Amino acid sequence: MNDHEKECIINAVLFGVFLNVFLSFTLDMFATKEERKPKNGASELSLKGQFMHMMVHHKQVMITSSLIVALVVGLSVYLGYLLNPVKKLKKLKIFN
């Protein structure tokens, strides 16, 4: 892995964590009472309600959610460089 690829992974992780923090703090103020604490469980909320519930939850567990986002983003970009699935899909004529 070259320096450019390493920087790309680090940049993606930093932006992923930043967006996790920024969006959870910003969208929290728009969450309804039901989205904050669903009476019948989050699975019973609409898709928008579930999304807002997750943003509220991410704000409540900021460090843990940021670590998860950093891990998922970092591994996604790393594995993308390592395995290059688009190149393989192009060879199969699945992706143009």
Task: Break the chain into its structural domains and give their ranges.
Answer: 3-91
* Residue 93 clears pLDDT 90, i.e. is over it: no
pTM: 0.86
User: For residue 38, what pLDDT band results from cuts at 50, 70 and 90?
Assistant: very high
Tell me 23's DSSP state.
H
* Residue 95 clears pLDDT 90, i.e. is over it: no
Distance CA(71)–CA(59), nearest Å, equals 18
**How much is the pLDDT for 2?**
94
pLDDT in tens, 50-68: 999 999 999 999 999 999 9
User: For residue 36, what pLDDT band results from cuts at 50, 70 and 90?
Assistant: very high
Task: Please tell me whether residue 84 adopts helix, strand or coil conformation.
Answer: coil
